């Protein structure tokens, strides 16, 4: 039996809890999958329990203790206002996760709906939606984000709007191409011949086959969104001070990079660990479920 046959079986695996558990075991068997899973769990736990773990109030200013290197009291040192960077990193993680999960979730639902319509609906609707998607996609993300910031002003909501608008075309396009491939599949013809209507075919026969790959794709986008949030906050276009964010920690640190390297190092590492964790986990999930998915970005 060839590897492709085995993977074909894996993609057709129905989503029961038993199978989720089995897939997780396969992910954990891969060293990188296990590492990714571990990192993601670590980030999730520390973000959820940020208030509990944080030794200091993240916005508490202590000018006398500014720009300190790591110590037993301040694990990651302090910033230019003497705030404890470790506490700020923990709370910043919660914001990064909130932004990415909420905005990807919204983009997923909208992209799925539009993609199904484009893939199964009439040709003209497909063409217009595709043109719209391609046009939105042609704005370089950060440029587009900056343009949006000029209008709405920098805020967390602005970041989420940018992410939602730029992700919808990606999910929409993918759902559309999968839907089109399924539309002419024999099992869809068989259902149509039996008299199944439009909504029944979409809901019972196309949706279940599209959702799995889409979720894997979305999980691989989490690091991208975290990067966007951190990046915009770094530029001062995202989260407003004094709210802690990995981006603002880096921005503050950058101003003092010639005085002390610690804030930049401390702000960058959580970003790297989180994106690495989600990327490793996403890649392993994809390898387990659907190796053919997303050869291109």
Partner 1 sequence: MKPLLEISDLHVRFRTHSPLSAMMNGIQDPFVDAVNGVSLHIGEGETYGLVGESGSGKTTLARSILGLVQPQQGSIRYAGTELIGMPAAQMKRFRSNVGAMFQDPVGSLSPRMTIGSLLAEPFKIHGLSDRDLGHEATRLLDMVGLNRDFSSRYPHQLSGGQARRVGVARALALNPKLIIADEPTAGLDVSVQGEILNLLGKLQAELGISILVITHNLNVVRHITDRMGIMYFGRVLEQGPTSAIFHQPSHPYTLALLSANPEPDPDAEIDRLELHGEVPSLFNRPGGCEFHPRCPFSDDTCKSAFPDITELDNAHSFRCHHPLQRA
Partner 2 sequence: MLEISRLNVEFTTERGVIKALRDVDLEVPRGSIVGVVGESGCGKSTMINSIIGLLAHNAAVRSGSITFEGSDLLQKSQRELRDIRGTRISMVFQDPMTALNPVLSIGAQMTDIQYRDPIGMAQKKQRSIRMLSRVGIPDPETRLENYPHQFSGGMRQRIAIAMALQAEPALLIADEPTTALDATLEVQIIHRLKDLQQSMGCSILFISHHLGVIAELCDFVVVMYGGEVVERGTVRDIFHRPAHPYTIKLLECDPARIAETTRALPTIPGEIPDLVNLPPGCIFADRCDRCIKVCREQIPQTTEFAEHHWARCHLAGSMAET
Partner 3 sequence: MWLYFAKRILLGVLIVLTAVSLLYSMIHLVPGDPVKTILGPRASPELQAQIRTKMGLDDPLPVQIVKFIGRVATGDLGEDVFKRKSVNTIVFEQLPHTIYLVLSGIGWAMLVGIPLGCLSAIYRNSMIDRIAGVLSVSCIAIPTFVVALYSVLLFAVTLKWLPAIGAGDGNFSSYIIHLILPAFAVGLGWVGYLARLVRASMLEVMSENHVRTARAFGLPERTIVFKYVLRLAILPTVTLIGMGIGILLSSAVFTEIVFARPGIGRLIFDAVTSRNYPVVMGSVLVTTVLFVVSTTVADLINALVDPRLRHHK
- What residues line the site for partner 3 (CB under 8 A)? 4, 32, 131-132, 134-144, 146-152, 223, 227, 230-231, 234-237, 250, 253-254, 257-258, 261, 264-265, 268, 271-272, 275-276, 278-280, 283, 292, 295-297
Q: If contact means CB under 5 to 8 A according to the sort of partner, which of partner 3, partner 1, partner 2, none does residue 186 touch?
A: partner 1
Give the residue, chosen from 150, 197, 199, 297, that forms a contact with partner 1 under the rule CB under 8 A.
Answer: 197
Give the residue, chosen from 2, 12, 138, 150, that forms a contact with partner 2 under the rule CB under 8 A.
Answer: 2
Q: If contact means CB under 5 to 8 A according to the sort of partner, which of partner 3, partner 2, partner 1, none does residue 195 touch?
A: partner 1
Asked if 122 interacts with partner 1 (CB under 8 A), we say no
DSSP assignments along the chain, one per residue: --HHHHHHHHHT----HHHHHHHHHHHHHSHHHHHHHHHHHHHHHHHHTHHHH-SS-TT---GGGTTPPP-SSSTT-B-TT--BHHHHHHHHHHHHHHHHHHHHHHHHHHHHHHHHHHHHS-HHHHHHHHHHHHHHHTS-HHHHHHHHHHHH-SSHHHHHHHHHHHHHHHHHHHHHHHHHHHHTSHHHHHHHHHT--HHHIIIIIIHHHHHHHHHHHHHHHHHHHHHHHHHHHHTTSSSPTTS--HHHHHHHHHHTTTT-SHHHHHHHHHHHHHHHHHHHHHHHHHHHH-TTS-S--
Question: What's the closest the beta carbon of residue 290 comes to partner 1, in angstroms?
Answer: 13
Options 2-10, 30-38, 73-81, 163-171: segment touching partner 2 (CB under 8 A): 2-10
Asked if 290 interacts with partner 1 (CB under 8 A), we say no
Question: What's the closest the beta carbon of residue 4 comes to partner 2, in angstroms?
Answer: 10
Asked if 20 interacts with partner 1 (CB under 8 A), we say no
Question: What's the closest the beta carbon of residue 1 comes to partner 2, in angstroms?
Answer: 5
Question: What's the closest the beta carbon of residue 195 comes to partner 2, in angstroms?
Answer: 30
Asked if 131 interacts with partner 1 (CB under 8 A), we say no
Helix/strand/coil (H/E/C) assignment for every residue in 157-210: HHHHHHHHHHHHHHHHHHHHHHHHHHHCCHHHHHHHHHCCCHHHHHHHHHHHHH
Question: Cβ–Cβ contacts within 10 Å for residue 82, how many?
Answer: 17
In terms of CB distance, is 125 or 185 closer to partner 1?
A: 185
Options 50-58, 129-137, 170-178, 202-210: segment touching partner 1 (CB under 8 A): 202-210
In terms of CB distance, is 31 or 55 closer to partner 3?
A: 31
Binding mask 136-175 for partner 1 (x = CB under 8 A): ----------------------------------------
Asked if 15 interacts with partner 2 (CB under 8 A), we say no
């Amino acid at each position: 039996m060839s590897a492709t046959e085995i993977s074909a079986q894996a993609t057709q695996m129905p989503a029961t809890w038993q199978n989720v558990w089995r897939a997780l075991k396969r992910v954990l068997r891969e060293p990188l999958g296990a590492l990714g899973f571990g990192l993601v769990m670590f980030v999730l736990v520390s973000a959820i329990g940020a208030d509990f773990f944080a030794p200091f109030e993240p916005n508490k200013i202590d000018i006398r203790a500014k720009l300190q290197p790591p110590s037993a009291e301040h694990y990651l040192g302090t910033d230019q206002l003497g705030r404890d960077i470790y506490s700020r990193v923990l709370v910043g993680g919660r914001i990064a996760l909130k932004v990415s999960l909420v905005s990807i979730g919204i983009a997923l639902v909208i992209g799925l709906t539009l993609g199904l319509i484009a893939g199964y609906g009439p040709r003209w609707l497909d063409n217009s939606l595709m043109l719209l998607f391609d046009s939105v996609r042609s704005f370089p993300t950060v440029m587009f984000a900056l343009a949006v910031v000029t209008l709405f002003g920098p805020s967390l909501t602005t970041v989420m709007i940018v992410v939602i608008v730029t992700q919808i075309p990606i999910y929409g396009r993918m759902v559309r191409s999968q839907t089109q491939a399924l539309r002419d599949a024999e099992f869809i013809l068989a259902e149509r011949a039996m008299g199944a209507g439009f909504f029944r075919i979409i809901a019972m026969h196309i949706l279940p086959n599209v959702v799995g790959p889409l979720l894997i794709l979305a999980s691989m986008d989490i690091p991208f969104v975290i990067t966007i949030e951190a990046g915009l906050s770094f530029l001062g276009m995202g989260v407003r001070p004094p709210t802690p964010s990995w981006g603002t920690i880096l921005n503050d640190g950058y101003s003092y990079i010639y005085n002390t390297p610690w804030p930049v190092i401390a702000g960058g590492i959580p970003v790297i660990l989180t994106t690495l964790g989600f990327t490793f986990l996403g890649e392993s999930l994809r390898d387990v479920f659907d190796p053919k998915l997303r050869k291109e970005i």
